[in-house]
Structure 1
Amino acid sequence: MSAANLGHGVFTALPSYIAAVAELPVSAALTGDVSGAVAVVPGSGDWWQGMLAARAGGAAAVVLADPAVLPQKGIGACPWPGDIPVIVERPRLRPDVVADAVRARRGRPARIVTVECAAPAAGLAAVIRDGFGWARSLVQGPLTVQVCSATAQARIALLDSGGSAGGAIPVTLGATAAAGHHADGLLQVLALGEVRTEVTVDQPAGLTRLETSTEHGTLRAPERYESSARLALRRAIEARSSGRPGTELDELLEDMSLTRALLAAKGLAATDV
């Protein structure tokens, strides 16, 4: 029986996505042909060229799995055409947890957002990028860098955003380099206002925690047990069926641009990111 008869074809060699396909037997099936399939592009290496290659091979949708931060020159030379959906798997910035955080605020805007990041050098840029993503999501508007400063082991950015409710919302992001050679990191996000939102993403501990405090007390969101890969694959299948390209790639590029600005302000060589 063909993949089409079993479900949407998924073209991947990543173990986490092979497992995700096995958990979605009705809607997904592995295929060896990228044409017409949901193509999973590993986020290591030059994933931009990997996405372009998947599109050129006839992929109907792309999942970008946990991407690293790429140099701007590797992206600007070949812009993304935007004619097929791209779902970006960002385990530190899960869209279901972000939606929970925004919904729990019940439309009450943040007055200030602070983000703290820590990770070994191998993963610090990606953790910073996802910290910017959390801040952007909670202020619900684009961020503009005002000031960047750094020491040998730490860096800080001061930003602001007009947000959805109008008026500048101050944002701070601090990052610290930690010991170790792995890429996992820690994110702590705090949005203050009439409602307090606190997010902790501790990758080494496998923990994602969301707490919302209002005048009625503090509510901890239920833990999400679905794997990040399975969630991304489900969303890609839905995007493929709807044909809507979405905004995730644009948001990723926006967050990467802020990350490069912060790292460039630290005197790092442009070729490092």
Structure 2
Amino acid sequence: MNPADRGFGVCTALPAYVAAVAELRLSAALRNDFSGAVAVVPGSGDWWQGMLAARAGGAAAVLIADPEMLPQEALESNAWPTDLPVIVERPRLRPDVVADAVRARRGSPARIVTVECAAPALGLDAVIRDGLGWARFLVQGSLTLRSGTAAAHGSIALLDSAGPAGGSIPTTLAGAEAGGLHSGGLLQLLALGEVRTEVTVDQLAGLTRVETSTEGGLLRAPERFESSARLALRRALVACSSGRPVTDLDDLLEDTALTWALHGT
């Protein structure tokens, strides 16, 4: 049997994704071309051009691996694809961890959300972007920027959301430049209401922690051992086989636009 016949084609040279294909060998196999395959696009540099090139090459789906912050001019000038699944790997905003946090709240709405971010200057906007993504999930609705300021070494902002039950849910954000060269950064979120959710994502320490406090006590979400790349690849394979739409790209663009709006206030 041809190895490529054992699973869906995946076109990638990224080591994390080559390893993920090997672990998913019953459902995925490496391919050398985009046609009919899941095309894994590195998230560094002008990754949006790689996404459009994969689409033009006949990819069945595109997976963007840990994308850097999209430049404002690229955000505004590109016609973003809607005719194929685009899965976005965001290690600071893993969908399985987000699902743990939302599920533990058992439908209890947040009354206020605070977001704190820290990262070296070149990576701070991307960390803020993912912090806003976390807040969007915790308030269960889109965020609107009310006021804010972006300075040389950080940003502060006040946002709100109508939320699922109406009324205004305020969200405060503080982002600060940190020393060092590591681009992963630190995220800390707190969602307060009848249920308290605390999220910590520290990529330098390899730590992701979700804790939920209710009247019944403290619940800590289980540690996720699956790599971010393997999770993203599994989601891409499901999107290809099921035909169900995914909103990853729309979510990324929404969070990116809101981050750039901080610089315009």
TM-score normalised over the length of structure 1: 0.94
Provide the C-alpha distance between the structure 2 equivalents of 1:35 and 1:70, rounded to a whole number of angstroms.
26
Paired residue for 2:13? Answer: 13
2:112 aligned residue: 112
CA drift of 1:175 comes to 0.3
Q: Kindly provide the amino acid, as one letter, of the partner of residue 217 in structure 1.
A: G
C-alpha displacement of 1:149: 2.5
Greater shift in the superposed pair: 69-78 or 120-129 = 69-78
Other structure's SS at 2:230 match: helix
| CA offset digits 1:222-253 (Å, max 9, x no partner) | 10000000000000000011122311100100
- Retained in 2: the 8 A contact 1:84–1:243? no
Q: Which residue of 1 aligns with 2:260?
A: 260
CA contact (8 A) 1:82 1:245 kept: no
Query: In the alignment, which residue of structure 2 is the partner of 1:83?
Result: 83
| 1:44-123 alignment runs, 5 A limit | 44-123=44-123
Matched AA of 1:12: T
Amino acid of the structure 2 residue aligned with 1:164: P
Distance 2:61 2:155 in 1: 37
The answer (yes or no) to whether the contact 2:4–2:30 under 8 Å persists in 1 is no
Percent identical residues: 73
What is aligned with 1:222?
222
**More displaced, 192-201 or 2-11?**
2-11
For the Cα contact (< 8 Å) 1:48–1:75, is it kept in 2?
no
Within-5 A mapping of 1:1-273: 1-265=1-265
- What letter corresponds to residue 72 of structure 1 in structure 2? Q
Matching residue's letter, 2:175: A
Q: TM-score, with normalisation over the residues of structure 2?
A: 0.97
- 1-structure distance, mates of 2:125, 2:263: 8
The amino acid across from 1:38 in the alignment is V
What is the letter of the counterpart of residue 12 of structure 2?
A: T
- The 8 Å contact of residues 41 and 62 in structure 1, kept in 2 or not, is answered as yes
State the Cα distance separating 1:4 from its structure 2 match.
Answer: 4.1
Q: Which consecutive segments of 4 or more residues in structure 1 shift more than 3 A?
A: 1-4
Equivalences, count: 265
| Closer, same or farther: CA 258–3 of 1 in aligned 2, 3 Å | farther
Once the 2 structures are TM-superposed, how far is the Cα of residue 151 of structure 1 from its aligned partner? 4.7
Q: CA deviation at 1:154?
A: 2.7
How far is 1:264 from its partner? 3.5
**How much does 1:192 deviate?**
0.2
Distance (whole Å) between structure 2 residues aligned to residue 59 and residue 124 of structure 1:
32
CA offset at residue 78 of structure 1? 2.8
Q: Which amino acid aligns with 1:172?
A: T
Deviation at 1:122, TM superposition (A): 1.9
Given residue 168 of structure 1, which amino acid in structure 2 is its aligned partner?
Answer: S
Aligned amino acid, residue 190 of structure 1: L
Counterpart amino acid of residue 182 in structure 2? H
Q: For 1:53, give the aligned amino acid.
A: A
Once residues 2 and 156 of structure 2 are traced to their aligned partners in structure 1, the CA distance between those partners, rounded to angstroms, is 53
Worse-superposed segment, 228-237 or 72-81: 72-81
In structure 1, C-alpha distance between the alignment counterparts of 2:219 and 2:74, rounded to whole Å: 43
Deviations 1:185-205 (A, max 9, x none): 000010000000000000000
Structure 2: gaps of 5 or more residues = none
**Structure 2: how far apart are the matches of 1:151 and 1:71?**
18
C-alpha spacing 1:32/1:152, structure 2 compared with 1 (3 Å):
closer
RMSD: 1.1
Distance across 1 between alignment mates of 2:177 and 2:120: 5
TM-fit CA distance, 1:87: 0.7
Summarize the Cα distance change of 1:27–1:114 in structure 2 as closer, same or farther, 3 Å threshold: same
Question: 2:17–2:230: 8 Å Cα contact kept in structure 1?
Answer: yes
